[in-house]
């Protein structure tokens, strides 16, 4: 029996209605000076003059209200990563997709009904601002948790850079970086700090909510001397799966159960090893192995450190506790991710040779103001890479990774089923060869597609809105590795409400908030933001002219050689005779 | 496998040219012997053997030095230059260009080569008062002359090859050397048999054209190497073959036709012959055009100056011109029975620069314009 996410959410809400609360956070986004890795003090983005920003803690059924004041010198916006935002697309957060960003000095309130539970995080979705520190765990407790445990800790992993993100972005997206090498972080953090300790009481069972809030890094997580049982992945409870280590890419989350030992003689190291395969090069002074400490007894010594092999781990083998069968897809999209130098001579990312460029009007406002034309992908602009899907259709995406790097792909507004993995590039004109044989495939919202492999994912389009699908390596999102799903545009006006505060914010920034991607009516896309295209690799006019001149110069040169070598006897004799005759005449004249 | 992995075209041409000149020397000397020594067969055979011996020894010694030089060069040089390979490749390319250009243009004066040799022979054999020549030397003149000259030509070739060999795979050298040598010997044999009826002039003009095309291509390749080095430093590229280029100066960048690909086929031949590349910049195109401009200008100036000099000396009424010779300036049509030194409006020493009207020809007399023959005919 198929239980849709939405009906589950409604049921859950009904069940918790009695305890539902409005949980308000007042976030004044400010600059702070901090030194979280102990190596370098720098300006970071914090909340209420604090760094790291505080975690958000909620219970299923609550309504989350965040009153944001932007005290920065640049625009900002907040995306609650993993929250479905059912009927609430206008508060999803990505700038120029569902809203204009919040202007410096401006304020904006996010109101989000919470219809799910698990481990999530909230981060800036304006350019790459979250890399400068604006990110925090967002924990939603179930009223009745599936699994029993005594206490819980949040373990938020992240890579850390010393330079400002804007400076690094300018160097990353530059003609002098034709290989597209991403900036390498200087260190790694746990809970945006270092030397973090977690107290364990013997015999108790702890839930560790492991989140990866990185810009780039993938971590391998393991705890010396302790086994781990995975119980939740990206907000989906799963059947207990025992592992000794597991990989976690940027934006993914896992909850694990760890049972404390029965004695307090030793403390143990918690390992979060950054995977060097993600980095273009590994500097000598980069400490890849980030550690925290499980403390049984402050006075105890550390147990010997285990340098374990990282286990290979296929998250497709996880079994959700609440089953959801898959279905034959109504539409299949094959998206091939690749990187190359485009005709702006900057190494950019493409899906099917199109690089993502922000439209002039946020895509949601285009959908809400274009009437019947909102179902025509043209109005969203070619370079927003719009993919229109109909309400309640089953959608399958096969993501082909045609790049030597590994990429974690994230879909806003949904979890998706992982229905197959394969090698190489899948050709959509052929049947997909490697579906999993299961009636309850693993579900999550961020999936790793390793280099030169593909992954098939499915979801039901039951959530009208504009949902971004993109690589969650922040550099790659800025380089354009994104598409926009236009989900059920025909239904949006009846389901979504965009209040005036949204449009006022656009006005404050001088950004148009009606019309197509160029801010015009109808299908007139003159003035739309255009992206670079792939290089043609053919001659341009300049090239042909240059080639012609080189050929002419060679031909003239060769002609000169032939002339030079030609001893024109007759000519020289004639010259000499002429000279002789002239000399004779002069002599006679004298 | 690309053609130039197994056959280095520049080396082929250099060897070919040097062996051809050596062959010319041998054929001239042998013809001279058969013309002059008509009665004494034994002496003729003995002197012929001297010619062969001198030439052969000269070639052997040159080859030995050459081979040794190339081996040592490749062993040490290629490893030393790895770090800034682009700059070294660029520098050596330009040096090679200079040598090939000068040599190629000099080759055009080969018409005078035979006459020069005949003149030298005349001096060596008949001049009782020749400076510095002892009886012994004169007796072995026919051995020493070819030996010294071939040695000099050979060492010249070695230096030229050193300039281009950095670019060549070691396994491309033997085939090119053998082919060049064989072809050169073939030409020499043809000259000997066919006498002076051989039309060598178009042949030498053609090979010079080819050599200069190669040199022009080398200019572009050398400049490209400098550019690549600089761009790789700017972009922090790990390897030289990053395949990227500076877009600010780029003129064309083709997806196809890359001579560096393993399946490049004719494109890599084009790269060896004319310096073709699928990526070109203002610098490479500009330097290519500039090379032709400079070389053409040099040749035009050189020839017009020579023509003026010829006219000037004609109007100064040198005795030789008054003798009734019709001022023939080419030795091309000399017939076999008279080694009459022919007036050369200037005779260039191989590898030397042309253009001076007064020059020391190394045999103790000052030659200028048409003076060479004057000195010869007086002896």
Q: How many CB atoms lie within 10 A of CB A262?
A: 8
Chain Cα centroid distance, residue A152: 28
Structure-block tokens of residue A466: 């504009």
As for how many domains chain A has, the answer is 4
Residue-by-residue DSSP string for B228-292? HHHHHHHHT-SSTT-----TTSEEEE-SS--TTSTT-THHHHHHHHH---SEEEHHHHHHHHHHH
Is residue A521 situated within a structural domain? no
Strand order in the sheet with A453-460: A347-351, A331-341, A394-401, A453-460, A416-423, A443-444
- Determine, yes or no, domain membership for A70: yes
Tell me which residue of A425, A490, A483 sits closest to A452, measured CA to CA.
A425
Report the residue of chain B nearest A534, measured CA to CA.
B255
Euclidean distance between CA atoms A518 and A526, whole angstroms: 6
Same structural domain, A235 and A360: no
> Contact B240/B82 with Cβ under 8 angstroms?
no
Phi-psi region of B106 (alpha: psi -120 to 50; beta: other; left: phi over 0): alpha
User: In which band, very low, low, confident or very high, does the pLDDT at B328 lie, cut at 50, 70 and 90?
Assistant: very low
Considering only the beta carbons, identify the residue of A178, A179, A550 that sits closest to B285: A550
Identify whether residues A587 and A458 lie together within a single domain: no
Task: Indicate if the pLDDT at residue B334 is higher than 50.
Answer: no
Q: Which of B108, B235, B285 has its CB closest to that of A176? A: B235
Instruction: Give the number of beta-carbon pairs within 8 Å between A and B.
Output: 130
A362 and A240 housed in the same domain: no
pLDDT at A48: 97
Same domain (yes/no): A311, A354: no
Higher-pLDDT residue of A550, B189: A550
- Using a CB–CB cutoff of 8 Å, tell me whether B280 touches chain A: yes
* CB spacing of A558 vs B209 below 8 angstroms: yes
Q: Work out the average pLDDT over B328-341.
A: 36
Q: Which CATH number belongs to the domain containing residue A47 in this structure?
A: 2.60.40.420
Top pLDDT among A177 and B241 is at A177
Considering the domain boundaries, does residue A533 fall inside one? no
Using the 3D structure, point to which of A277, A297, A324 is the last residue of a domain.
Answer: A324
Residue B178 has pLDDT above 90, yes or no: no
Q: Residue A183 in contact with residue A43, Cβ under 8 Å?
A: no
- β-pairing, A118-124 vs A63-70, is unpaired
Instruction: Using the 3D structure, point to which of A272, A301, A324 is the last residue of a domain.
Output: A324
Residue A532 lies in a domain: no
In a domain? residue A524: no
Q: Are residues A341 and A299 in the same domain?
A: no
The gap between the terminal CA atoms of chain A, to the nearest Å, is 128
Pair A105, A179 in one domain:
no
Q: Are residues A393 and A252 in the same domain?
A: no
pLDDT of the residue at B376 = 36
Structure tokens given for A95: 């700038």
When scoring B101, B104, B200, B205 by the number of chain A Cβ atoms within 10 A, the one with the most, hence best to mutate, is B205
The verdict on a CB contact (< 8 Å) between B296 and A573 is no
Which of B195, B263, B227, B276 has its CA nearest to residue B31?
B195
Contacts of B292 in chain A (CB under 8 A): 553-554, 556-557
DSSP one-letter code for A184:
P
In a domain? residue A390: yes
Q: Which residue, A118, A143, A168, sits at the end of a domain?
A: A143
Please give chain A's pLDDT, 590 residues, in tens. 444 555 555 565 555 555 679 999 999 999 999 999 999 999 999 999 999 999 999 999 999 999 999 999 999 999 999 999 999 999 999 999 999 999 999 999 999 999 999 999 999 999 999 999 999 999 999 999 999 999 999 999 999 999 999 999 999 999 999 999 999 999 999 999 999 999 999 999 999 999 999 999 999 999 999 999 999 999 999 999 999 999 999 999 999 999 999 989 999 999 999 999 999 999 999 999 999 999 999 999 999 888 777 888 899 999 999 999 999 999 999 999 999 999 999 999 999 999 999 999 999 999 999 999 999 999 999 999 999 999 999 999 999 999 999 999 999 999 999 999 999 999 999 999 999 999 999 999 999 999 999 999 999 999 999 999 999 999 999 999 999 999 999 999 999 999 999 999 999 999 999 999 999 999 999 999 999 999 999 999 999 999 999 999 999 999 999 988 877 655 556 666 666 677 677 767 76
Which of chain A's residues have a Cβ under 8 Å away from the Cβ of B321?
576, 580
Sign of CA dihedral A559, A565, A570, A575: positive
B236 touching A, CB under 8 A?
yes
- Same domain as A488, residue A384: yes
Instruction: For residue A525, tell me if it sits in a domain.
Output: no
H or E, element range at A419: strand A416-423
Q: What is the pLDDT of residue A307?
A: 78
Show the 3-state SS of A436-493: CCCCCCCEECEEEECCCEEEEEEEECCCCEEEEEEECCHHHHHCCCEEEEEECCCCHH
Same domain, A191 and A288: yes
Q: What is the pLDDT of residue B129?
A: 45
Q: Contacts of residue B111 in chain A, CB cutoff 8 Å? A: 567
Do the bridges between strand A228-233 and strand A253-259 make them parallel or antiparallel, or are there none, so unpaired?
Answer: antiparallel
Does residue B28 belong to the interface with chain A, where contact is any CB pair within 8 Å? no
Residues comprising chain B, all counted: 379
Q: Would you call A569 and B311 a contact, using CB atoms and an 8 Å cutoff? A: no
Q: Which residues of B touch A577 (CB under 8 A)?
A: 314, 327
Residues A422 and A483 in one domain: yes
Same-domain status, A485 and A339: yes
Query: What is the model's pLDDT at position A366?
Result: 96
The residue range of the domain holding A488 is 331-509
The secondary structure of B57-103 as a DSSP string is HHHHHHHHHHHHHHHHIIIIIHHHTTTTHHHHHHHHHHHHHHHHHHH
In a domain, A124, yes or no: yes
Burial-class residue B335 by CB neighbours within 10 Å (0-12, 13-18, 19+).
Answer: exposed
For chain B, positions 37-56, list CB contacts with chain A under 8 A: none
A337 with A474, same domain: the answer is yes
Half-sphere exposure in the Cβ direction for B189 (13 Å, CA): 6
Q: Which of B122, B303, B107, B95 is nearest to B210 (CA)?
A: B107
B307 or A266, which is more confident: A266
- Inter-chain touch A557–B216, beta carbons under 8 Å: yes
Query: Do B325 and B377 touch, CB atoms closer than 8 A?
Result: no
B353 touches chain A (CB under 8 A): no
Taking CB atoms and an 8 Å cutoff, what residues of chain B touch A537?
253-256
Q: Is the pLDDT of residue B335 over 60?
A: no
């Amino acid at each position: 029996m198929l239980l849709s996410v939405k009906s589950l959410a409604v049921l859950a809400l009904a069940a918790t209605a009695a305890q539902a609360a409005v949980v308000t956070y007042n976030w004044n986004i400010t600059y702070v000076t901090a030194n979280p890795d102990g190596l370098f003090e720098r300006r970071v983005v914090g909340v209420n003059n604090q760094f790291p920003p505080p975690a958000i803690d909620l219970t299923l059924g609550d309504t989350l209200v965040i009153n944001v004041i932007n005290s920065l010198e640049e625009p900002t916006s907040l995306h609650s990563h993993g929250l479905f935002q059912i009927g609430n697309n206008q508060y999803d957060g990505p700038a120029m997709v569902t809203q204009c960003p919040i202007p410096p000095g401006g304020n904006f309130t996010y109101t989000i009904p919470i219809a799910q539970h698990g481990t999530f995080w909230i981060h800036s979705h304006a350019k790459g601002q979250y890399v400068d520190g604006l990110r925090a765990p967002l924990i939603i407790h179930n009223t009745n948790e599936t699994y029993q445990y005594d206490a819980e800790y949040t373990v938020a992993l992240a890579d850390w850079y010393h330079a400002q993100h804007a400076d690094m972005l300018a160097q990353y997206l530059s003609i002098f970086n034709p290989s597209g090498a991403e900036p390498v972080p200087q260190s790694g953090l746990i809970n945006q700090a270092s030397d973090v300790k977690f107290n364990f009481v013997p015999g108790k069972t702890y839930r560790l909510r492991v989140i990866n809030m990185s810009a780039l890094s993938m971590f391998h997580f393991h705890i010396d001397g302790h086994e781990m049982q995975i119980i939740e992945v990206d907000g989906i409870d799963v059947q207990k799966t025992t592992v000794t280590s597991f990989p976690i890419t940027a934006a993914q989350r896992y909850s694990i159960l760890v049972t404390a030992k029965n004695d307090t003689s030793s403390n143990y190291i918690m390992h979060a090893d950054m995977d060097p395969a993600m980095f273009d090069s590994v500097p000598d002074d980069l400490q890849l192995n980030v550690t925290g400490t499980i403390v049984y007894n402050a006075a105890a010594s550390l147990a010997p450190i285990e340098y374990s092999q990282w286990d290979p781990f296929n998250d497709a083998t996880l079994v959700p506790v609440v089953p959801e069968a898959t279905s034959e897809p109504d539409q299949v999209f094959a998206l091939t991710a690749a990187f190359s130098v485009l005709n702006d001579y900057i190494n950019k990312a493409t899906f099917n040779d199109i690089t993502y460029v922000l439209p002039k009007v946020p895509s949601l406002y285009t959908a809400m103001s274009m009437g019947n034309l909102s179902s025509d992908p043209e109005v969203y602009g070619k370079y927003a890479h719009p993919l229109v899907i109909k309400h309640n259709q089953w959608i399958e995406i096969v993501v082909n990774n045609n790049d030597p790097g590994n990429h974690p792909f994230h879909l806003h507004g949904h979890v998706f089923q992982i229905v197959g993995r394969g090698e190489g590039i899948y050709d959509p004109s052929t049947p997909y060869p490697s579906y999993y044989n299961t009636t309850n495939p693993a579900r999550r919202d961020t999936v790793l597609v390793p280099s030169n492999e593909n992954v098939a994912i499915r979801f039901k389009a039951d959530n009208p809105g504009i949902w971004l699908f993109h690589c969650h390596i922040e550099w790659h999102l800025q380089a354009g590795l994104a598409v926009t799903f236009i989900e059920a545009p025909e239904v949006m006006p009846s389901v979504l409400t965009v209040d005036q505060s949204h449009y006022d914010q656009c006005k404050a920034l001088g950004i148009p908030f009606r019309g197509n991607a160029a801010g015009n009516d109808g299908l007139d896309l003159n003035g739309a933001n255009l992206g670079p295209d792939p290089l043609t690799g053919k001659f341009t006019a300049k090239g042909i002219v240059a080639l012609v001149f080189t050929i002419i110069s060679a031909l003239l040169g060769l002609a000169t050689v032939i002339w030079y070598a030609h001893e024109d006897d007759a000519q020289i004799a004639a010259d000499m005779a002429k000279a002789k005759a002239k000399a004779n005449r002069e002599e006679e004249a004298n | 496998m690309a053609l130039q992995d197994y056959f280095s075209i520049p080396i082929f041409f250099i060897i070919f040219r040097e062996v051809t000149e050596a062959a010319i020397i041998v054929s001239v000397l042998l013809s001279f012997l058969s013309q002059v020594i008509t009665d004494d067969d034994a002496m003729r055979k003995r002197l012929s053997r001297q010619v062969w011996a001198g030439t052969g020894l000269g070639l052997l010694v040159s080859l030995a030095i050459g081979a040794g030089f190339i081996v040592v060069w490749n062993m040490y040089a290629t490893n030393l230059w790895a770090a800034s390979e682009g700059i070294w490749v660029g520098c050596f390319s330009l040096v090679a260009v200079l040598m090939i250009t000068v040599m190629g243009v000099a080759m055009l004066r080969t018409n005078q080569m035979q006459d020069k040799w005949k003149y030298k022979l005349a001096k060596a054999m008949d001049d009782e008062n020749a400076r510095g020549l002892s009886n012994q030397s004169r007796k072995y003149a026919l051995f020493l002359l070819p030996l010294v000259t071939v040695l000099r030509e050979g060492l010249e070739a070695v230096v030229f090859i050193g300039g281009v060999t950095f670019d060549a795979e070691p396994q491309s050298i033997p085939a090119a050397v053998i082919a060049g040598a064989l072809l050169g010997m073939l030409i020499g044999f043809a000259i000997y048999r066919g006498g002076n009826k051989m039309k060598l002039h178009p042949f030498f003009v053609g090979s010079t054209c080819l050599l200069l095309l190669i040199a022009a291509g080398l200019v572009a390749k050398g400049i490209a190497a400098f550019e690549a080095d600089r761009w790789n430093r700017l972009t922090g590229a790990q390897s030289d073959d990053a395949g990227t280029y500076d877009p600010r100066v780029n003129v064309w960048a083709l997806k196809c036709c890359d001579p560096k690909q393993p399946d490049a086929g004719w494109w890599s031949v084009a790269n060896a012959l004319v310096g073709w590349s699928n990526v070109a910049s203002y610098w490479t195109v500009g330097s290519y055009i500039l090379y032709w401009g400079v070389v053409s200008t040099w040749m035009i100036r050189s020839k017009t100056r020579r023509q003026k000099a010829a006219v000037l000396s004609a109007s100064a009424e040198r005795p030789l011109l008054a003798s009734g010779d019709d001022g023939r300036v080419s030795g091309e049509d000399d017939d076999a029975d008279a080694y009459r030194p022919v007036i050369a409006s200037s005779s260039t020493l191989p590898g030397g620069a042309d253009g001076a009207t007064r020059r020391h020809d190394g045999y103790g007399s000052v030659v200028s314009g048409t003076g060479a023959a004057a000195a010869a005919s007086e002896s």
